[in-house]
Structure 1
């Protein structure tokens, strides 16, 4: 696979015959992840909220890689009904799914709730993906070496905790802390899912990745007091969405990846650079909290996993 310190999109192995479902893939990191997989032969499903934007993204990928197979599936992660409908259609269309990449997300949004009454960031970033994974896992477990890759963030360390006493932020709201909770939940979900898959003797693995500080649409809800610093520091710290996609691509395709690993950029503070194996916070590895989060997530989504 070449020099392990300079892993690039060129290192993605042949994906011919594999099917990849990628959430939030019409723009940013998700788009470049989809393009990277399609380029190397995977049949790619862009699971997106906006079908027109999804179709435009599919057209861009196939224009660049005419051999690519790219289709669009409507999915709104902030609606459990939409998640169930999408999972049913995907399960019917694809008896086998090799890759599920839980990439979509919202960041620093003003206080809002999903149609199911969940705080928007927790409901979309964690619960929506939790439900989708649970519904699609039977398809993944039929495939030797299938992977679930969930995208977290350096924000899992920033003001982050799982607020079991007020998961939906009904008693006050801090958009930065709420985002941190959702990204911490993504990691805890990955570790608990991997433990369950291993106990089930499944060859399917759960892996996490983060893009560092990448230029994407996620920053549109950045609080006003952070915008001057963002403008000042961006040229020094922010990398392209294509570079931000590399840790996800590596987690999804590198044959040396193991279940429960976490990939991110190799530069200072993991903000930019080539993808490498990185470490999550101590809190993310708390097995008791992982199990507690899993139980409450099953209860809130009414989704039970086959492991």
Structure 2
């Protein structure tokens, strides 16, 4: 893997680089907490019209109130309820947005689950981390793609340095981990799927002559609810202990999200995020992608499998 880069200077990318977003529409999944919430705050402060998608209405309303405190008079913030663990819910939420919007400048697929200790399945029968982190977002992006195409916009996936963990390929023969479930390996597979999705998406977009671009980012070791509500047992204990020394606030973790969403110098299929300590922290720049995260044969296969599992046929 190549060494990290700091194209924005030794201090890394900062929010001062965020341009005016007047008239721009942004969708953020999981925008009610953590890095999604922080990204929304920054974007509405730059005049963007932001819609957050999340499961819980009470938390959504609370998040909207928090984000509104940072909004300019030209900005707006609202929410749509969506459960990524249900393809029916994803379709209904996407339909709601499609009925009220004509274009979409930025689709930021941020929501996710992390290191669930016990194997569980989504409502559609998929291993939960793969189903939520990848398949739900795959369908959501497919449905909203026509609006992004009209806006010549951006589609962003929040992956993780965990795409490098232990699993150097997608387990196509056992996507649901019916045998040998591991919370860390299954999480790594879902984040590898995010990475491969963006590579295949960008390949298809450019082959079709589309003006849309695909981006992939990671937040480093951001101190969010993801670490506290996902892992269990010894893994949760280790997260708490090491988090005290290695983590950074969500506001730093969200920098790569805003970079990909707004900076005119952002490059497609470039892994933006903290660059030090293997990507856990430090200034935000370009971090290495594992060779298996750039396997285009695997990316193409994952795309076809994802279309079959979700019924989401992309018109690209």
Q: Into which bin does the TM-score normalised by the smaller protein fall?
A: over 0.9
* Higher deviation after alignment, 24-33 or 160-169: 160-169
Unmatched 5+ residue regions in structure 1? none
**In the alignment, does 2:18 pair up with 1:12?**
yes
Q: State how 1:123-142 maps to structure 2 within 5 Å.
A: 123-142=131-150
2:199 corresponds to which residue?
191
1:121 corresponds to which residue?
129
Deviation track 1:148-186 (CA, whole Å, cap 9, x = no partner) reads 010001111112231000001122311111100000000
Contact 1:207 1:251 (C-alpha < 8 Å) held by counterparts: yes
Task: State the superposition RMSD in angstroms.
Answer: 1.5
Unmatched 5+ residue regions in structure 2? 1-6
Deviation track 1:67-88 (CA, whole Å, cap 9, x = no partner) reads 2310011111111111111111
1:38 corresponds to which residue?
44
1:47 corresponds to which residue?
53
Describe the SS at the equivalent of 1:96.
Answer: coil
Report the CA distance shift for 1:268/1:2 in structure 2 as closer, same or farther (over 3 A).
Answer: closer
2:315 corresponds to which residue?
306
Deviation track 1:45-102 (CA, whole Å, cap 9, x = no partner) reads 0111112111110011112335231001111111111111111111111100000000
* Higher deviation after alignment, 8-17 or 120-129: 8-17
1:95 corresponds to which residue?
102
Q: State how 1:45-84 maps to structure 2 within 5 Å.
A: 45-65=51-71, 67=73, 68-84=75-91
Query: Which of 209, 222, 242 is equivalent to 2:251?
Result: 242
Contact 2:10 2:283 (C-alpha < 8 Å) held by counterparts: no
Structure 2 CA distance, aligned partners of 1:141 and 1:231?
42
2:210 corresponds to which residue?
202
1:289 corresponds to which residue?
298
Structure 1 CA distance, aligned partners of 2:226 and 2:240?
15
Structure 2 CA distance, aligned partners of 1:231 and 1:22?
27
Structure 2 CA distance, aligned partners of 1:77 and 1:2?
34
Structure 2 CA distance, aligned partners of 1:198 and 1:139?
17
Contact 2:8 2:285 (C-alpha < 8 Å) held by counterparts: no
Query: Which of 161, 170, 188 is equivalent to 2:178?
Result: 170
TM-score under structure 1 length normalisation = 0.96
Structure 1 CA distance, aligned partners of 2:64 and 2:180?
40
**In the alignment, does 2:148 pair up with 1:143?**
no
How far residue 299 of structure 1 moved from its aligned partner, in angstroms, is 0.2
- The number of aligned residues is 306
How far residue 5 of structure 1 moved from its aligned partner, in angstroms, is 4.0
Structure 2 CA distance, aligned partners of 1:73 and 1:272?
32
How far residue 201 of structure 1 moved from its aligned partner, in angstroms, is 0.9
Q: State how 1:195-274 maps to structure 2 within 5 Å.
A: 195-219=203-227, 220-274=229-283
How far residue 3 of structure 1 moved from its aligned partner, in angstroms, is 4.8
**Relative contact order higher in (CA < 8 Å, ≥ 6 apart):** 2
Q: State how 1:149-164 maps to structure 2 within 5 Å.
A: 149-160=156-167, 161-164=169-172
